[in-house]
Amino acid sequence: LRIGEPTGFAAYNPPVRELDLLNHIYSRNAGLPSRVTIPPGDDMGAITIGGASVLVTVDQVADGVHFDLATTPLAKVARKAVTRNLSDVAAMGAVPVAAVVAGCLPRGFGEAKANALFDAMRAVAMSYDCPLIGGDISMWDHPLLLTVTVLAETAGVEPVLRRGAKVGDNICVTGTLGGSMETLDDPPDYVHHLDFEPRLNVARKLAGDAMLRPHCMLDLSDGLGKDLPRLCAAASKPEPRPAGRGPSVGVELWIDRLPISRGAHRAAQRDGRPPWQHALGDGEDYELCFTIPREIADRFPTVIEGVPVTQIGRIVAADDDAAITLRMPDGSVQPMGEYGWEHHD
């Protein structure tokens, strides 16, 4: 059994090759000029322009990979194309300011649909004070692909990086996890991976409040089982531009504390797997995952800006990066394995 198997039209999780390629890209960061203040490898990159820090992220959504055009209303496609990026902005504790869109439209898509699609993207973006300020459109004989780039500003709050988890930190997540492709009744036709709310307000509160500020943060796009190892790997990366390595850290994940979504329960009913496996592996949660000093864990709020915050584990010393162990409800502890928990089940 393997977490991340497609339950719908396509796989949630990127194949290993994509991660390899990303790592290949990150390995070249050392040569970047000093004005690059956040190099590739975080949820956004950042560069100094005219004395200001400008953050930027890009994400693409493709028909057949990230949505199914045959069954998904255009408004939801447009929403996801924009909000995926906004979730990255949230992960930095930044404020979105502008977006540009590139669209590759299948020939014969039709002018009315194209207009509706771009109108919807503009409306979604504007609803987050993130106006579309440019774009590029091509036609081709292949599926619809939308690429959105979002610029963000720090607005007085230092970005929260992926790097920074410390042994002893508690790990928190917002919202609930798993089953993001399930269609729910309340609200009607809610499908999390399309309709999720990027956690901009929560992130801003966390990043800007000295009593709450996390050591590190990312957004959960590929599932906790894949994103936690990234948090660990980032923790032991050298400082912004090389000097040495931090200690290797791992995670002890408290399975009985995972906030299980209604979608995860729904998915579990269908396939008979325990709901926590869906919470751990399904992906496309677009929730925040961050670590906080143990000293403040006891009095850390359980709701921020109306969104539940749950402590689900802790950062531990580890022999190698990204060793994740699961503390099961019966008290036993088992390794998760490298790409989810496929090694045991």
Handedness of CA 77, 61, 140, 136 (dihedral sign): positive
What's the rounded Cα separation, in Å, for the pair 69 and 302? 37
Give, rounded to a whole angstrom, the gap between the first and last alpha carbons of the chain. Answer: 7
65 touches a copy of itself (CB under 8 A): yes
333 touches a copy of itself (CB under 8 A): no
SS3 312: strand
Q: Taking a C-beta distance cutoff of 8 angstroms, is the pair 207, 95 a contact?
A: no
- 308, with CB counted inside 10 A (0-12, 13-18, 19+), is middle
345 touches a copy of itself (CB under 8 A): no
User: Least CB distance from residue 33 to a copy of itself, whole Å?
Assistant: 6
Burial per residue of 74-108, b for 16 or more beta-carbon CB atoms within 10 angstroms, e otherwise = bbbbbbbbbbbbbbbbbbbbbbbbbbbbbbbbeee
What's the rounded Cα separation, in Å, for the pair 67 and 142? 15
Among 69, 75, 102, 316, binds a copy of itself (CB under 8 A): 102
Among 5, 7, 8, 64, binds a copy of itself (CB under 8 A): 64
Binding footprint of a copy of itself, residue count (CB under 8 A): 70
User: Least CB distance from residue 14 to a copy of itself, whole Å?
Assistant: 7
Among 83, 147, 176, 261, binds a copy of itself (CB under 8 A): 147
Contact characters 106-145, a copy of itself, x per CB under 8 A: -----x--xx--xx--x---x--x-xxxxxxxxxxxxx-x
- Pick 93 or 313: Cβ nearer a copy of itself: 93
Among 14, 208, 240, 308, binds a copy of itself (CB under 8 A): 14
CA 99 to chain centre: 18
- Pick 141 or 319: Cβ nearer a copy of itself: 141
149 touches a copy of itself (CB under 8 A): yes
The single residue listed with the structure tokens 């579309």 is 132
Contact characters 24-53, a copy of itself, x per CB under 8 A: xx--x--xxx-xx-xxx---xxxx-xxxxx
Q: Taking a C-beta distance cutoff of 8 angstroms, is the pair 327, 333 a contact?
A: yes
User: Least CB distance from residue 32 to a copy of itself, whole Å?
Assistant: 5
Among 5, 8, 9, 22, binds a copy of itself (CB under 8 A): 22
Q: Of 94-102, 158-166, 271-279, 320-328, which segment contacts a copy of itself by CB under 8 A? A: 94-102
Gyration radius of the chain's alpha carbons: 20
SS3 38: strand
DSSP state, residue 234: H
Among 69, 75, 100, 167, binds a copy of itself (CB under 8 A): 100
What's the rounded Cα separation, in Å, for the pair 177 and 263? 8
What's the rounded Cα separation, in Å, for the pair 293 and 240? 21
- Pick 66 or 215: Cβ nearer a copy of itself: 66
Interface residue list for a copy of itself (CB under 8 A): 14-15, 17-18, 20-22, 24-25, 28, 31-33, 35-36, 38-40, 44-47, 49-54, 56-60, 62, 64-66, 97-98, 100-102, 104, 111, 114-115, 118-119, 122, 126, 129, 131-143, 145, 147, 149, 151, 153-154
